[in-house]
């Protein structure tokens, strides 16, 4: 399993995809947080807070994580190496988890450089260190769970097709719908008392809660359940090739 994780990591950084995902994520955040004037600019805001980073990042993830995950299984199918992979002394679940773990490591690599933003705001605070570090790192946990959920959805989409573009578009649609679609459905107020239940089916409601820096066990359980659901669905798709 670890050999497969290493293979995937080498594949990511052996091509431009891995570097591009990291660079684009950092570039978009840097431009909005430090260069473009406006409500997202940290210097214009006058507050020692990284709140806007956690507002921008989910929308950037909607494009970048499908781009990251689209090749995980689709590339294997297109190259004809999927059957060879399935003959390895690994269970279907181990193969899925290895692919998922590799994507998760790349996501961590993309997030780690943003700690420079935290250090910069920490130094610019008046007085020095005038930033709520606990809330900030709690928000990082929420962002990591969000990225992990999007990645599980992208992994599932990649397992459905041998076309990376189709996998990208499908993952982006599913991520957007689960992130924001349930909010819109609940906003129509068509289902009465069920509206709150529908709202809580979406990622956004739980991410907003965690992005405040509050780690609620209900939100953690939601993300873990969502990730487990799509990992299990991916395993089912892989198993269907043997039927």
According to the model, what pLDDT value does residue 229 have?
Answer: 96
Number of domains in the chain: 1
| Pairwise pLDDT comparison (14 vs 151), residue with the higher score | 151
3-state helix, strand, coil in the chain (%, to 5): 80, 0, 20
Per-residue model confidence (pLDDT) at position 243: 54
On whether the CB atoms of residues 65 and 107 are closer than 8 A, the answer is yes
- Residue 98: count of CB within 10 angstroms of its CB: 22
On average, the pLDDT of the chain sits at 85
Whether residue 150 has pLDDT greater than 80: yes
Q: What is the mean pLDDT of residues 180-194?
A: 78
- Percentage of the chain surpassing pLDDT 90? 31
Rounded distance between C-alpha atoms, residue 139 and residue 234, angstroms: 28
- Contact indicator for 167, 69 with CB cutoff of 8 Å: yes
Residue 140 pLDDT greater than 80, yes or no? yes
Identify the pLDDT of residue 242: 60
d(CA 168, CA 90): 27
Instruction: Retrieve residue 216's tokens.
Output: 């609620």
Taking only the tens place, the pLDDT of each residue in 21-61 is 788 888 988 888 878 776 777 777 667 678 888 889 999 99
Q: 31 or 225: which carries more pLDDT confidence?
A: 225
18 or 206, which is more confident: 206
Confidence (pLDDT) at 46:
66
pLDDT tens digit sequence for 64-120: 999 889 888 888 888 777 777 777 777 888 899 999 999 999 889 889 988 888 888
Question: Is the pLDDT assigned to residue 225 strictly greater than 80?
Answer: yes
Cis peptide before 127 (omega within 30 of 0): yes
Q: Which two tokens stand for residue 27?
A: 């570039």
Check residue 15 and give its pLDDT.
74
Q: Which domain holds residue 19?
A: 2-240
Q: What is the pLDDT of residue 215?
A: 84
Which pLDDT band, with edges at 50, 70 and 90, does 147 fall under? very high
Alpha helix ranges (H) inside 31-127:
42-45, 51-69, 71-79, 82-86, 92-111, 115-124
What is the distance between the alpha carbons of residues 27 and 9, in angstroms, rounded to a whole number? Answer: 22
Rounded Cα gap, residues 110 and 217, in angstroms: 26
């Amino acid at each position: 399993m670890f050999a497969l994780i290493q293979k995937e990591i080498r594949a990511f950084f052996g091509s431009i995809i891995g570097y591009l995902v990291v660079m684009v994520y950092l570039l978009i955040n840097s431009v909005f947080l430090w260069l473009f004037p406006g409500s997202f600019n940290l210097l214009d805001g006058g507050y020692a807070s990284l709140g806007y980073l956690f507002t921008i990042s989910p929308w950037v993830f909607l494009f970048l994580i499908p781009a990251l995950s689209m090749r995980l299984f689709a590339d294997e199918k297109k190259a004809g190496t999927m059957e060879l992979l399935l003959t390895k002394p690994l269970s279907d679940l181990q193969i899925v988890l290895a692919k998922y773990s590799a994507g998760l490591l790349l996501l961590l690599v993309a997030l780690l450089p943003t700690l420079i933003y935290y250090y910069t705001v920490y130094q610019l605070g008046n007085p020095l260190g005038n930033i709520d570090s606990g809330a900030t790192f709690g928000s990082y946990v929420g962002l990591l769970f969000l990225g992990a959920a999007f990645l599980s959805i992208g992994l599932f989409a990649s397992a459905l097709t041998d076309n990376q573009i189709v996998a990208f578009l499908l993952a982006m649609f599913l991520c957007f719908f689960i992130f924001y679609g349930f909010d819109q459905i609940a906003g129509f107020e068509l289902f009465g008392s069920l509206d709150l239940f529908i709202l809580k089916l979406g990622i956004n409601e739980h991410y907003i809660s965690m992005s405040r820096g509050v780690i609620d066990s209900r939100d953690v359980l939601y993300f873990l359940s969502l990730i487990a659901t799509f990992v299990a669905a991916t395993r089912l798709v892989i198993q269907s090739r043997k039927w």
